[in-house]
Structure 1
């Protein structure tokens, strides 16, 4: 299966991957070996770290998640990847902790006058496989409301605030609400053969994309195979105690029923060493409550996808992409490969 797709990489299926953070870049790193018809649609709600500094100082969208995706899809010399990921050390003044890749995007944003154009120009420079699109060009902030009725504004503040409240997130919203989408993002969704949501932080990486005007509806209207890729572990400060069906329920409640056809869940066992490390922060493997999940109208498919030999319980880019492409080959009504 893998070799068949690789031979026809130049005319592989049209895939749209939606999310943000490390989860999306992990997925892209594997998928780029199967098709060049790959579009990443990325959230721009981040307001912390180096991205937050550039956002506040320059009034530009946060570049961090976009940069991560570029590193995953780039076809350049290894030194360029190292350069993009380089962070200035302590003692560098306002540059401390800032990523050089973020600064390049900031400079291109100034030159072109458009963040969307800056991303496009940097994509050409890096010869990326596919394309990367911010979900919106609007200056948006993320607000979370909790089950006790309290609320906090700012993506970077949500985790600590949740711990202090000691209750679940009830919902999130963008301010301003329902911002206009990047038109190319909606077009990519409409033309897709396969639409993937996740893996990634549920409330701060995946769901914010669905709150942009027209995005959730475009996914629901699509004839593509639509897959939510579940996380391996619950997330400290975001999804502690949530089962797989809880994740799906949150996803659908922020969009609408019929958003996805199936959920891809990991079934590889997590080592005791990793379990103990995650227990320190109250995180655990997400419990796959298949019956409850499928009662929500979403089929559950379990496959081994855990990366081995790492300090974190994360998806293996190779295993994840292989499983995704096998599912597409089995389920898609129209195969173009």
Structure 2
């Protein structure tokens, strides 16, 4: 086992203990535990709280001792040297000089992009949709009256300075019992929400615990429901119902809106947009992850007023029930129909061919590659939008994703100084 790998394992172990301790304290002090354990509730809460406090103190003392040893002896238990620490500090200095990027969206697409962006800059603000109502997030939203934590959790983990072991813990989904289908990370955010009585504060404190690079912000603190008007005139209510019903009736989405129709962005989100060098929309589900953020009161106006470069990254594959048969231009038209014609400066589109054997699984579900036609390019040029096209596919375990480092490099290169500020490795 290499020295660096062993070092990471040591650090990860103490961080893991500390986070588990914080989670236990949170559970012990929260109303969530009160509801979870109808009997012996007081004893259970005390046990969780005391155990959590012990783990926090123990892990913190060990971590401090490791750092002191490093400064005194030039290494930590023979594993982490002063050179390693200097390298981390130097890298952080380089990243702090990177462009200010605001990434807007949700779902898997946004979290994948964030993993790449944090290798080029630490000045990242992710504005994440909270309109989803399916899966474990939907259950917590209904049961606890909180905003859905799922997309927020994924973005926090994407920007967190943690090792894979820690991410596995927070992404773990319970397989049995009343918690079946819930992820540990969702429950953590739920408990933090109970403790602080504010979803905004819960997200901020969770980000602090996990040493997040940049900021993760919900698109609004309002309890919004997503609705879609189909071309046949039917109205579908609920984010999770939209693709299902659309698939059933085979009628395209005409427009989407939220109930209530008036919701407000966070002040911190507006400030980040005003100060941004680059604003990125997507990648992610067009109608249920990206566009919902544009429906928040006057957010489009703030984006257009910003001096930042505005970029849209469409998905590499169509999404059944949302974007069946859509080309790149169709995606852009939907964005502009829900905002303003002058919203975007650049489109970054994939032109890499996907291996047929990989596509087979997607075709079975009704998904197809999002293509950029010659007609698309002409149409976008006439709109005053510059098209950047490149090979941007990354296939892992038969899943098609954007090549996050290559995509991030292109995005960072669009900062107004025209230079790609690459992180130190």
Give the TM-score category using the shorter length. Answer: over 0.9
- Residues 1-337 of structure 1 mapped to structure 2, 5 A cutoff: 8-89=94-175, 91-93=176-178, 95-288=179-372, 289-328=376-415, 332=416
CA radius of gyration, larger in: 2
Distance between the aligned counterparts of 2:329 and 2:322, measured in 1? 15
Distance between the aligned counterparts of 1:126 and 1:262, measured in 2? 33
Q: CA deviation at 1:335?
A: 6.9
Is this contact kept in 2: 1:6–1:33, CA < 8 A? no
Specify whether residues 78 and 313 from structure 1 end up closer, same or farther in structure 2 by C-alpha distance, changes over 3 A only.
closer
Distance between the aligned counterparts of 1:319 and 1:326, measured in 2? 11
Is this contact kept in 2: 1:303–1:323, CA < 8 A? no
Identify the structure with the greater helix proportion.
2
Q: CA deviation at 1:79?
A: 2.4
Distance between the aligned counterparts of 2:368 and 2:139, measured in 1? 32
Q: Which moved more, 1:316-325 or 1:262-271?
A: 316-325
Q: Which moved more, 1:229-238 or 1:195-204?
A: 229-238
Is this contact kept in 1: 2:278–2:414, CA < 8 A? no
Distance between the aligned counterparts of 2:250 and 2:258, measured in 1? 23
Q: CA deviation at 1:164?
A: 1.2
TM-score, normalized by length of structure 2? 0.75
Distance between the aligned counterparts of 1:316 and 1:43, measured in 2? 23
Is this contact kept in 2: 1:262–1:300, CA < 8 A? yes
TM-score, normalized by length of structure 1? 0.94
Specify whether residues 102 and 246 from structure 1 end up closer, same or farther in structure 2 by C-alpha distance, changes over 3 A only.
same
Distance between the aligned counterparts of 1:178 and 1:259, measured in 2? 20
| Root mean square deviation of aligned Cα | 1.7
Q: Which moved more, 1:308-317 or 1:281-290?
A: 308-317
Gapped runs of 5+ residues in structure 2? Answer: 1-90
Distance between the aligned counterparts of 1:45 and 1:282, measured in 2? 24
Distance between the aligned counterparts of 1:336 and 1:241, measured in 2? 34
Q: Which moved more, 1:228-237 or 1:311-320?
A: 311-320
Q: Could you give the per-residue CA deviations for residues 200-231 of structure 1, whole angstroms, max 9, x where no partner exists?
A: 00000000000001211111111111100111
User: What residue is the counterpart of 2:68 in the other structure?
Assistant: none
Specify whether residues 111 and 164 from structure 1 end up closer, same or farther in structure 2 by C-alpha distance, changes over 3 A only.
same
Q: Which moved more, 1:140-149 or 1:303-312?
A: 303-312
Q: CA deviation at 1:312?
A: 1.8
SS of equivalent residue, structure 2 residue 321: coil
